């Protein structure tokens, strides 16, 4: 089904850089929740399981919703999708074709954000994560109003995300994450003094090192730099806290995430996923943003105490963000 009109849809990652493999998590998304489908997809389902007509829970416009109870009716014992095997990928229900992404409306524009897929990673892109395929599915979803959420971003904010995504193509193979953080701040604040911005960022990094009493941490991790540059725009758009944060602080938050991800993988040979970046961002790294020089007086305390303190700073920040969001919504209403 093709959309009747084209909409502006931002896909916040470079084409060909992402992939996922449902086998790695045991097709967990096929074993929970509901299925959304259009009339054609509903017809295919009822051909195989006619009694499922009793399990449709509601219809919105031309989209039908059926419960799985508990695993998908089409998930076969070999872990494959019956519809895809029998009729091809294009015949799968819309929700399955959108996986692992969702659509956010920003006034008259749309952006793709990530569902919490534990296997989505930077690597050779599969055919289901090409821009062409994602855009095709997204246009159908927009036409049928299958929108996960709305955010009150003005147009300039969406355009800012486009600029940062475009800039990442230049930085991806030839720079470090400190440089890319400085670039993001420069674009967000319209400040061309990159030397001064990098100097301020380095001061923050040294404050973090001193607080955690970390020596010899190499901030030039090429693999981590490449991964996080590739994922930055997805995180900026998809993470709730980053979306609500003042735009000039988002790059510092992502630099803190980079700092923590290097610690996370320093002595481990791991295959990192976007889900790992999200979890560490949610857990502790944002607390680094709100450290002050006065906080160094507890740097001799046990590591557990310092981490507890960072989590407290993060919680206080998140509460403030959520309070500001509620205030804005009340003002809009």
Q: How confident is the model at residue 60 (pLDDT cuts 50, 70, 90)?
A: low
* Per-residue confidence (pLDDT) for residue 322, from 0 to 100: 66
* Per-residue confidence (pLDDT) for residue 118, from 0 to 100: 84
Q: Could you give the CA distance from residue 37 to residue 65 in angstroms, rounded to a whole number?
A: 7
Q: How confident is the model at residue 145 (pLDDT cuts 50, 70, 90)?
A: confident
CB-CB contact of 163 with 188 (8 Å): no
- Residue 146's SS3 state is coil
* Per-residue confidence (pLDDT) for residue 63, from 0 to 100: 77
* pLDDT, tens digit, 9 for 90 and up, residues 148-169: 789 989 999 999 999 999 999 9
Q: How confident is the model at residue 1 (pLDDT cuts 50, 70, 90)?
A: very low
| Range with lowest mean pLDDT among 145-149, 195-199, 319-323 | 319-323
Residue owning tokens 């404050």 = 207
| Range with lowest mean pLDDT among 110-114, 125-129, 147-151, 214-218 | 125-129
In the chain, % helix, strand, coil (3-state, to 5) comes to 60, 10, 30
Which residue has better confidence, 319 or 247? 247
Q: Could you give the CA distance from residue 208 to residue 232 in angstroms, rounded to a whole number?
A: 21
What average pLDDT does range 44-64 have in this prediction?
78
Report the share of the chain in percent with pLDDT over 90. Answer: 43
* Per-residue confidence (pLDDT) for residue 302, from 0 to 100: 94
* Per-residue confidence (pLDDT) for residue 40, from 0 to 100: 79
* Per-residue confidence (pLDDT) for residue 119, from 0 to 100: 87
What average pLDDT does range 189-199 have in this prediction?
95
Q: Could you give the CA distance from residue 201 to residue 177 in angstroms, rounded to a whole number?
A: 11
Residue 239 phi/psi, 5-degree rounding, is -85, 125
Which residue has better confidence, 205 or 321? 205
What average pLDDT does range 306-322 have in this prediction?
86
Q: Average pLDDT of the chain? A: 86
What average pLDDT does range 166-189 have in this prediction?
93
Answer whether residue 77 shows pLDDT above 60.
yes
Answer whether residue 329 shows pLDDT above 80.
no
* Per-residue confidence (pLDDT) for residue 284, from 0 to 100: 86
* Per-residue confidence (pLDDT) for residue 61, from 0 to 100: 65
Burial class (CB in 10 A: 0-12, 13-18, 19+), 177: buried
* Per-residue confidence (pLDDT) for residue 298, from 0 to 100: 93
What average pLDDT does range 76-84 have in this prediction?
85
| Range with lowest mean pLDDT among 135-144, 190-199, 288-297, 302-311 | 135-144
* pLDDT, tens digit, 9 for 90 and up, residues 243-287: 989 999 999 999 999 999 999 888 777 778 898 899 999 888 899
Q: Could you give the CA distance from residue 316 to residue 305 in angstroms, rounded to a whole number?
A: 17
């Amino acid at each position: 089904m093709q959309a009747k009109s084209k909409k502006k849809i931002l896909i916040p990652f470079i084409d060909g850089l992402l992939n996922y493999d449902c086998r790695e998590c045991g097709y967990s998304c096929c074993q929970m929740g509901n299925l959304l489908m259009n009339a054609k997809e509903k017809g295919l389902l009822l051909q195989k399981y006619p009694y499922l007509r009793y399990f449709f829970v509601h219809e919105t416009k031309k989209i039908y919703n059926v419960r799985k109870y508990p695993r998908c009716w089409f998930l076969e014992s070999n872990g494959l999708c019956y519809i895809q095997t029998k009729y091809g990928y294009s015949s799968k229900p819309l929700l399955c074709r959108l996986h692992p992404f969702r659509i956010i409306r920003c006034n008259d524009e749309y952006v793709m954000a990530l569902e919490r897929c534990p296997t989505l990673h930077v690597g050779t892109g599969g055919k289901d994560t090409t821009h062409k395929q994602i855009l095709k599915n997204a246009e159908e979803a927009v036409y049928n109003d299958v929108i996960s959420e709305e955010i009150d971003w003005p147009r300039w904010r969406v355009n800012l995300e486009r600029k940062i995504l475009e800039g990442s193509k230049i930085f991806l193979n030839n720079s470090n994450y400190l440089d890319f953080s400085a670039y993001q701040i420069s674009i967000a604040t319209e400040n061309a003094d990159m030397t001064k911005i990098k100097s301020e960022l380095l001061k923050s990094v040294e404050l973090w090192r001193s607080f955690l009493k970390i020596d010899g941490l190499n901030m030039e991790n090429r693999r981590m730099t490449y991964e996080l540059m590739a994922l930055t725009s997805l995180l900026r758009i998809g993470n709730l806290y980053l979306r609500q944060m003042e735009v000039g602080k988002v790059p510092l938050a992502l630099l803190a995430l980079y700092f923590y991800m290097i610690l996370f993988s320093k002595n481990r040979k791991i295959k990192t996923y976007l889900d790992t970046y999200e979890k560490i961002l949610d857990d502790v790294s944002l607390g680094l943003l709100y450290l002050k020089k006065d906080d160094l007086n507890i740097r001799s305390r046990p590591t557990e105490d310092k981490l507890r303190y960072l989590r407290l700073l993060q919680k206080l920040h998140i509460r403030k963000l959520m309070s500001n969001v509620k205030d804005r919504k009340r003002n809009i209403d």
